[in-house]
Amino acid sequence: MPSPWPQTDPTAAQRAAYADAAVLPFWLDDLPAIDPAAALDTAIETDLCIVGGGFTGLWAALHAKHRDPGRDVAVVESHTCGYGASGRNGGFLLSSLTHGLENGLARFADEMEALERLGFDNYAGLRGDLDRYGIDCDFEETGDMSVALEPHELAWLDEGAELMRRYGHEVELLDREQMRAEVRSPTYLGGLWDRTGAAMVHPGKLARGLRDAALAAGVRLYEHTAVEDTRSAGAGVELTTAGGTVAARRVLLATSAYPPLVRSIRRYVLAVYDYALMTEPLSPAQRESIGWSRRQGLGDSGNQFHYYRLSADDRILFGGYDAVYRFGGPVDAQLDDHDATFGKLAQHFFTTFPQLEGVRFTHRWGGAIDTCSRFSVFFGTALGGRLAYATGYTGLGVAASRFGAEVALDLVDGNDTEATRLRYVRSRPVPFPPEPLRSGVVRVTQNRLAAADRREGRRGLWLRALDRAGLGFDS
Ligand SMILES: Cc1cc2nc3c(=O)[nH]c(=O)nc-3n(C[C@H](O)[C@H](O)[C@H](O)COP(=O)(O)OP(=O)(O)OC[C@H]3O[C@@H](n4cnc5c(N)ncnc54)[C@H](O)[C@@H]3O)c2cc1C
């Protein structure tokens, strides 16, 4: 049985469904408007300067204050908090720190027990923080469901279930009928429901809640302020912006897929664009027609996969499949619109839910994913240990960014913890080659991944060689 995705161009009706959609992340558009924090326009001094106001930077700011309320902390953000990946993602809050068990075992088998435990602790700690700081982000503990669309994927679900149970997850395998009773799509052949450490959130509300909490804790925030340079100065670091400078005792870089401010990150991270569509709120009849009463996060199982979920007001977010890498890895608002991908997403949406014919999309957007070859956050220090960074979440950073922030804080503070001793924290991914080779490698790899999807998942010579070299490509 072939993949359910049509090999034809999207129809005029499928294209029309998103033609009027705003090119804007729904999650940010859904927030009450506020005045941004003032930009930096003078020279300041601080104990800790955090560059980047996404989840990593905001968790770091909040926890730095929590650990030591007397410490002066400044966050410098080039746009507004949550403008980057943190305000654009699917909102799948998953406990894994390793982009799933299989990837973790392939790279950190000896540390997997610890990494799973730390991931669960981080997930529980995050829930506790939501309560402690009064952050309402539409948290729904629905679990996460992988669906099989082709027969060979059923065996992957079996293996996945076995592995998850081994690591203490509560999982349920569903056959074709059970899966379709849960969510009504003619594309489904089976499903695997992971009920442990898996929730859906409104990522815009989470970022806004973290921003509010950081401000309430006394963090100084400068928005619309891009850091242009960082360099050692005396016993600290000087950061340069267009309007002013920051003299910081310590610096934490949380700039994700954006052009890195320290050279050493460049070899390891590339910016891959991922795109999503958001529907209008479904009518009660449309809602009824798809089932999905338990509101799980859904993802299909191919190398090129979609992720989709319901929002609190019963819209469907449908994203993924294409991972778009452009020469040099630019990150720019102009890249938020990408018709070729939106056409495909609309076509695949109506293939998944033909009963929703006529539904319109209100928002379409793209976002840059900080992709690294090990598919999970990595860490480092620079400028003689006065600067630390956490980046490379590769599309699974909503929960892991809280852990990344804590570890980066420990590194910049020189703390010795269970986490900082792990090879997971101390080692780096296999670097990507420089351009123009980088684009070539990504293109061939994407081509071979798509080919594997067409050949019942069988990985050819190229992918097997990359697997052996520890060099993966994923969004
Ligand atoms: C479309 C999409 C879907 C995703 N879906 C999921 C999902 O469902 N589940 C999941 O777990 N993960 C998902 N992710 C990944 C997740 O969103 C990220 O891993 C996470 O948000 C990373 O947070 P961050 O703070 O490290 O990066 P970001 O949120 O990108 O924050 C970096 C910030 O740094 C700022 N910045 C950059 N350079 C500078 C500079 N020089 N000076 C000042 N500020 C600067 C940027 O403006 C930005 O606000 C998705 C990502 C995308 C793009």
Are 191 and 306 in contact, with CB atoms under 8 Å apart?
no
Q: What is the 3-state secondary structure (H, E, C) of 411-467?
A: HHHCCCCHHHHCHHHHCCCCCCCCCCHHHHHHHHHHHHHHHHHHCCCCCCHHHHHHH
Is the torsion defined by CA of 371, 377, 381, 386 positive or negative?
A: positive
Of 88-102, 106-120, 178-192, 440-454, which range is least confident? 440-454
User: How far does the centroid of ligand 1 lie from the alpha carbon of residue 411, in Å?
Assistant: 21
The number of angstroms, rounded, from the C-alpha of 330 to the middle of its chain's C-alpha atoms is: 18
What is the β-pairing status of strands 144-148 and 297-300? Answer: parallel
Could you tell me the pLDDT band of residue 265, with boundaries at 50, 70 and 90? very high
pLDDT of residue 454: 79
Cα–Cα distance, 359 to 13 (Å, whole number): 10
With 80 as the cut, is the pLDDT of residue 329 above it? yes
What is the pLDDT, as a whole number, of residue 444? 77
Say how many CA atoms lie within 13 Å of 5 toward its Cβ.
20
Reply yes or no on whether the pLDDT at 268 is more than 70.
yes
Ligand 1 midpoint to CA 325 (Å) = 16
Residue-wise pLDDT for 140-190, tens only, equals 999 999 999 999 999 999 999 999 999 999 999 999 999 999 999 999 999
Q: Which atom of ligand 1 is nearest to the CA of 367?
A: 53
Q: Supply 24's token pair.
A: 């804007």
Question: How far is residue 7's CA from residue 36's CA, in Å, rounded to a whole number?
Answer: 45
CA-closest candidate to residue 26, choices 357, 275, 272:
275
How much is the mean pLDDT over the chain?
95
**What residue spans of 315-416 are helical by DSSP H?**
339-352, 400-413
Determine which of 205-219, 333-347, 416-430, 434-448 has the lowest per-residue pLDDT on average: 434-448
- Predicted confidence at residue 314, as pLDDT, reads 98
Say if residues 319 and 308 touch (Cβ distance below 8 Å): yes
**Span from the CA of 312 to the centroid of ligand 1 (angstroms):** 22
Q: Angle at CA 401, nearest 5°, toward 397 and 402?
A: 140
Top mutation candidate among 79, 89, 229 for ligand 1, by most atoms within 8 Å of CB: 89
- pLDDT, mean of residues 24-34: 98
Question: Pick from 136, 99, 29: which is nearest to 369 by CA?
Answer: 99
Q: Which pLDDT does position 447 carry in this prediction?
A: 82
> Cβ < 6 Å from ligand 1: which residues?
51-57, 76-79, 83-86, 88-92, 94, 226-227, 254-256, 258, 261, 274, 276, 319, 367-369, 393, 395-398, 401
Q: For the ranges 33-42, 298-307, 362-371, 465-474, which has the lowest average pLDDT? A: 465-474
Q: Assess whether pLDDT exceeds 70 at residue 239.
A: yes
Assigned token pair, 96:
């894994």
User: Which residue among 208, 240, 258 has the greatest number of ligand 1 atoms within 8 angstroms of its CB, and so is best to mutate?
Assistant: 258
Residue 454 in tokens: 């067409």
State pTM to two decimals: 0.97
State the average pLDDT over residues 456-471. Answer: 76
Q: How confident is the model at residue 473 (pLDDT cuts 50, 70, 90)?
A: low
Query: 280-286: long-range contacts at Cβ-Cβ below 8 A with a sequence spacing of 24 or more?
Result: 280/315, 280/359, 280/360, 280/361, 280/362, 281/313, 281/314, 281/315, 282/314, 282/315, 282/316, 282/356, 282/359, 286/355, 286/356, 286/359
Q: Phi, psi at residue 431, to the nearest 5°?
A: -70, 155
Is 120 in contact with 98 (CB distance < 8 Å)?
Answer: no
Distance CA 381, CA 387 (A): 5
Query: Which pLDDT tens digit goes with each residue over 352-379?
Result: 999 999 999 999 999 999 999 999 999 9
Looking from the CA of 197 toward its CB, the CA atoms found within 13 Å total: 25
Exposed/middle/buried for residue 104 (C-beta within 10 Å: 0-12, 13-18, 19+):
buried
